[in-house]
Amino acid sequence: MRLMSLPQRYLQCREKTLDLSKPHIMGILNVTPDSFSDGGRYLDQNKAIAHAQEMITAGASIIDIGGESTRPGAAKVSVEQELQRIIPVVQALHGLDVVLSIDTSTPEVIEAAVAQGAHIWNDVRALKRPGALEMAAQLAIPVIMMHMRGEPDNMQQFAQYDELCDEIIFELKERISAAIEMGVQRDHILIDPGFGFAKDTTQNLALLRQLYRLNELGFPLVSALSRKRFIGDVLGGVDAPQRVLASVTAHLISIQQGACIVRAHDVAEMKQAIVLWQAMQATTIT
């Protein structure tokens, strides 16, 4: 395993600052009826808020709120539906000691969420929807740009690579260039290699093994593989809730290769792993 460390860097998230020299946990809060792992569990606003508070207590420094599932076959969601799911949660959590990320590809949704206090735009489509590049430049907030080919409904048709990491890096470079040309600040860009999106099990494992290569791009790296299907495949087909330990392990492998943010369902378990890893890193023999 190749260990990577990045220079200390701070990410300004409006009034909040993240020190990216240490790993951060982004707790997943899906306010949807059909997400692959916890669909429907936090659709109720009170349950969503309570779960977010639990994740903050457990160690999440970022809460990622999503109102539209990106799993294959998920129902289409209107802008109005997405706003009805997300905005009340943002309003309730704004003011807490946490950075709020919005998992959306829709410019109107992120604009409304930022007006209510959100800090980060997490876009699985890397600002490809109409008006997204312009909105990212206008809002001037950090944006996570994820690698994906096609759309969630057809992405696996495009899981064909001659040189996996080379092609992911090249395609992310294209999106980064488009964002910068539109006026998005370089120090607001983060990258996500898109585990599970247009990649089969073998490709996801190869990507995890070579994740350090994405540091070539020079942007903070986000790893989002919590409970993904490829982990279930490796474990013999177990359901999403049974993929916790393997997810934590894979995220720790990501951190060792330079990931500064891990997007996780299981915050308390992930926090324990990071604490142990940090203690090991700090230990010296005299």
Euclidean distance between CA atoms 119 and 4, whole angstroms: 27
pLDDT tens profile 22-42: 999 999 999 987 555 555 666
Lowest mean pLDDT segment, chosen from 64-78, 101-115, 249-263: 64-78
pTM: 0.92
So what's the pLDDT on residue 216?
Answer: 94
223 and 263 Cβ atoms separated by less than 8 Å: yes
Residues forming beta bridges with residue 121, ordered by sequence position: 102, 143
Euclidean distance between CA atoms 43 and 40, whole angstroms: 5
So what's the pLDDT on residue 207?
Answer: 98
pLDDT tens profile 81-92: 999 999 999 999
Mean pLDDT over 200-222 rounds to 97
127: Cα within 13 Å, side-chain hemisphere: 32
Q: Choosing from 85, 149, 213, 228, which is the catalytic residue?
A: 228
Lowest mean pLDDT segment, chosen from 75-79, 120-124, 171-175, 195-199: 75-79
Buried-exposed string 63-86: b where 16+ CB fall within 10 A, e elsewhere: bbbbbbbbeeebeebeeeebbebb
All domains of the chain in start order, with CATH: 22-279 (3.20.20.20)
Lowest mean pLDDT segment, chosen from 45-49, 165-169, 242-246: 45-49
Q: Choosing from 227, 229, 243, 263, which is the catalytic residue?
A: 263
Percentage of residues of the chain with pLDDT beyond 70: 92
Phi, psi of 99 (to 5 degrees): -90, 135
Lowest mean pLDDT segment, chosen from 34-38, 120-124, 127-131, 214-218: 34-38
Percentage of residues of the chain with pLDDT beyond 90: 81
Phi, psi of 55 (to 5 degrees): -65, -35
Question: What's the chain's average pLDDT?
Answer: 92
Mean pLDDT over 117-130 rounds to 97
Residue 8 has pLDDT above 70, yes or no: no
Residue 7 has pLDDT above 90, yes or no: no
Three-class SS of the chain: CCCCCCCCCEEEECCEEEECCCCEEEEEEECCCCCCCCCCCCCCHHHHHHHHHHHHHHCCCEEEEECCCCCCCCCCCCHHHHHHHHHHHHHHHCCCCCEEEEECCCHHHHHHHHHCCCCEEEECCCCCCCCHHHHHHHHCCCEEEECCCCCCCCHHHHCCCCCHHHHHHHHHHHHHHHHHHHCCCHHHEEEECCCCCCCCHHHHHHHHHCHHHHHHHCCCEEECCCCCHHHHHHCCCCCHHHCHHHHHHHHHHHHHCCCCEEEECCHHHHHHHHHHHHHHHHCCCC
So what's the pLDDT on residue 1?
Answer: 42
Residue 109 has pLDDT above 90, yes or no: yes
Better-scored residue on pLDDT, 168 or 1: 168
Residue 69 has pLDDT above 60, yes or no: yes
Residue 286 has pLDDT above 70, yes or no: no
So what's the pLDDT on residue 231?
Answer: 98
So what's the pLDDT on residue 73?
Answer: 61
Residue 259 has pLDDT above 70, yes or no: yes
Known catalytic membership, residue 125: no
So what's the pLDDT on residue 283?
Answer: 83
Euclidean distance between CA atoms 132 and 95, whole angstroms: 26
Give the pair of three-digit tokens for residue 170: 């090249």
Mean pLDDT over 12-22 rounds to 96
Known catalytic membership, residue 186: no
So what's the pLDDT on residue 146?
Answer: 98
So what's the pLDDT on residue 26?
Answer: 98
